[in-house]
Chain A
């Protein structure tokens, strides 16, 4: 029973981790909570669902198309709502991000209506029954896809020129610009990758729970952010760790405490962690410059 909950938690947690990565990358570079990230997750899920149900596109291809289109949406949001405010007070950009989130969610409500859509699962209902736990085919897919995406991201950040530029920009925008790095391009790339990851998470959750709706991004979006903060915002391994921890804690909380309080668990953990370690689990303490 415990091992089963652990596996369920890890599956859920890996989708949180994917969302958290989007938040943490954007925050690492422009210090903004991209509130619209949850809506990108929702958008990705809708694109894949429509492709699969209406155009009968194979699932994996739908996933890729959804990630690509969501990337474009993410970059567009940055361009329209955040870029003009880059030199404005942080509060202004944050409020603009909240505005973008509300706008997109309600646009989806307006176009698609409030009722959830069925996302037919392309996977067989096969369950692999191992000794200590069972795992379904789709859960296995979620774990695999998440794993390879994160591995790819790690490679990109550590080994490529773009990754180096991103790390440099995260440390010091002005100096990076002086070194000839095109900051605008780096920021766009960050939104591109973060949005693709968010969309991947949305598609997988959509198909896992067989349901897609305009408001589906709200809670996972918030929890993805909680996961990012938990691990130490701006810290990429921290986001992965935070996501997994949150997924496990939530599943355990629902199983052993009370399922009604499932959503409250995430926020309670967040508040406790922030009080004890304000910079998150893997975050560094930054001393204010006087």
Chain B
């Protein structure tokens, strides 16, 4: 495969929790600008895989290469700075902060004001702040949350919280965006809006890796899909190929895909 075209590659990545093999030698590569779906039954190791990519867990074995750089051993904040951002399966917003502030925190790596700058309120700090706020408002408009910027995050509706998490992740200016079950708990209308949003993010040039249970969404939107089962990658290919794969059908025990 073409190295220049690749943004992320995992080589035989494994994660053990005690005796439990949560992930077992997973090889995966993701091309720049594609939408990649990661599916599998509950407990297959999908979220664990995300946690390895973002540095929340360290792999027991294997390598993770992002933009031709080994990122194993880096802290989550360092990986975010390199250009990987994520949303969480069980929404983790800063509940007591406003919508705008949540996105502002996403801007952390894009801004520089330090302790002295903030105490002295230097012109640089002031203008940077202004810039950051403008940028955040743009992002909120992008995900359709303009007008809600002064609300506390905890007061948003469920679907809005999901979109705020995406806006917050986008604020870190990622090249690779990891979405962990973004459609969970959404109604069909909201899911459609989400699909549209994901396309728009991709069209801005980002790469998207997505865990999702909503098969209509994931098969409809992904260019390629990989299937995890019991920590192993059992299939990979276009949605059409994967849907025909017998191992996948067996893993889902006849579930319609």
Contacts and interface: CB of A to CB of B under 8 A. Distances in A.
Q: Do chains A and B touch in the complex (CB under 8 A)?
A: yes
Contacts of B47: 290
Looking at chain A, what size class is its interface with the partner chain? Answer: under 10
A287 interface: yes
B113 to A, nearest CB: 28
Contacts of B17: 287
A287 B17 CA distance: 10
A279 to B, nearest CB: 15
A229 to B, nearest CB: 24
A8 to B, nearest CB: 41
B230 interface: no
A171 to B, nearest CB: 15
Interface in A252-290: 287-288, 290
A46 B51 CA distance: 54
B56 interface: yes
Contacts of A290: 47, 51, 56-57, 88
B2 to A, nearest CB: 32
Interface string B54-79: 00110000000000000000000000
B54 to A, nearest CB: 8
A290 B17 CA distance: 14
A contacts with B: majority SS: loop
A167 B47 CA distance: 29
Contacts of B56: 288, 290
Nearest to B86: A290
A290 B56 CA distance: 7
A224 B89 CA distance: 40
B84 to A, nearest CB: 14
A287 B57 CA distance: 9
Interface in B159-175: none
Nearest to B89: A290
Contacts of A288: 56
A287 B52 CA distance: 13
A288 B56 CA distance: 9
A14 to B, nearest CB: 33
A94 B120 CA distance: 37
Contacts of A287: 17, 57
Nearest to A284: B18
Contacts of B57: 287, 290
A288 B51 CA distance: 11
B52 to A, nearest CB: 11
B11 to A, nearest CB: 23
A158 to B, nearest CB: 22
A289 to B, nearest CB: 9
Nearest to B18: A284
Contacts of B88: 290
A193 B17 CA distance: 34
A287 B88 CA distance: 17
A268 B97 CA distance: 38
A288 B47 CA distance: 13
B244 to A, nearest CB: 34
A36 B88 CA distance: 39
A288 B57 CA distance: 9
A39 B31 CA distance: 64
Nearest to B56: A290
Nearest to B51: A290
Contacts of B51: 290
Nearest to A288: B56
Interface in B88-105: 88
Interface string B99-143: 000000000000000000000000000000000000000000000
A288 B88 CA distance: 14
A288 to B, nearest CB: 8
B43 to A, nearest CB: 14
Interface string B30-55: 00000000000000000100010000
A62 to B, nearest CB: 48
A283 to B, nearest CB: 15
A68 B56 CA distance: 48
A290 B87 CA distance: 11
B245 to A, nearest CB: 30
A142 to B, nearest CB: 39
Nearest to B54: A290
A89 to B, nearest CB: 12
Nearest to B92: A290
8 contacts: A287-B17, A287-B57, A288-B56, A290-B47, A290-B51, A290-B56, A290-B57, A290-B88
8 closest A-B pairs by CB = A290-B56, A290-B51, A290-B88, A287-B57, A290-B47, A287-B17, A290-B57, A288-B56
Given A290-B47, A290-B56, 6 more contacts: A287-B17, A287-B57, A288-B56, A290-B51, A290-B57, A290-B88
Interface of B: 17, 47, 51, 56-57, 88
